[in-house]
Amino acid sequence: MATPYDIDPRLLRAFTAVAQELHFTRAASRLFVAQQALSRDIRRLEREVGAPLFARTTRQVALTPDGERLLPYARRVLDAHDALRDAFRTEHRPLLVDLNSPGLVHDRILRRARELAPEQELMARFESGLTGAAGEILAGRLDASFGRYGGLAPSVRARLDAQFVRYEPMAVVLPEDHPLAALPEVPLGRLAGEHLYAGAGNDRTPEWTDLAVRLFDGRGIHLAPPAPLAVGTEEFQRIMAKHRHPVLAVVGFPPMPGCVLRPLVDPVPLSPVSLVWRKGLRHPALDALRAAAAELGEREGWRDRPSGSWLPAREPGVPA
State the pLDDT at residue 140: 87
With residue 48 as reference, give the H or E element that holds it: helix 35-49
Sign of the Cα torsion 103, 109, 112, 117 reads negative
Q: Are 151 and 131 in contact (CB under 8 A)?
A: yes
Distance of CA 270 to the CA centre of its chain: 17
State the pLDDT at residue 310: 97
Residues with Cβ within 8 Å of 72's Cβ and at least 6 positions away in sequence, in order, are: none
Rounded distance between C-alpha atoms, residue 161 and residue 151, angstroms = 14
Rounded distance between C-alpha atoms, residue 255 and residue 258, angstroms = 9
pTM for this model (two decimals): 0.75
Residues forming beta bridges with residue 249, ordered by sequence position: 171
State the pLDDT at residue 2: 47
Residues with Cβ within 8 Å of 320's Cβ and at least 6 positions away in sequence, in order, are: none
Give per-residue pLDDT as tens, 218-246.
999 999 988 766 665 666 667 666 667 89
Write out the residue limits of the CATH 3.40.190.10 domain(s) in the chain. 90-167+271-300, 168-265
State the pLDDT at residue 207: 96
Q: Are 138 and 159 in contact (CB under 8 A)?
A: yes
Residues forming beta bridges with residue 248, ordered by sequence position: 172
Write out the residue limits of the CATH 1.10.10.10 domain(s) in the chain. 9-83
Distance of CA 260 to the CA centre of its chain: 26
Q: Are 289 and 174 in contact (CB under 8 A)?
A: no
Angle of helix 284-300 relative to helix 106-116, nearest 10 degrees?
120
Supply the CATH classification number for the domain 168-265. Answer: 3.40.190.10
CA atoms within 13 A on the CB side of 167: 17
Residues with Cβ within 8 Å of 298's Cβ and at least 6 positions away in sequence, in order, are: none
Tell me which fold the domain 90-167+271-300 belongs to. D-Maltodextrin-Binding Protein; domain 2 (3.40.190)
Q: Where are the beta strands (DSSP E) in the chain?
A: 54-56, 61-63, 95-98, 122-125, 144-147, 160-175, 186-187, 195-196, 222-223, 247-250, 259-265, 270-278
Rounded distance between C-alpha atoms, residue 193 and residue 178, angstroms = 14
Rounded distance between C-alpha atoms, residue 320 and residue 317, angstroms = 9
Rounded distance between C-alpha atoms, residue 62 and residue 223, angstroms = 30
Tell me which fold the domain 9-83 belongs to. Arc Repressor Mutant, subunit A (1.10.10)
Measured in degrees and rounded to the nearest 5, phi and psi for residue 306 equal: -60, 145
- Regions of the chain where pLDDT drops below 50: 1-2, 90
CB atoms within 10 A of CB 4: 15
State the pLDDT at residue 299: 96
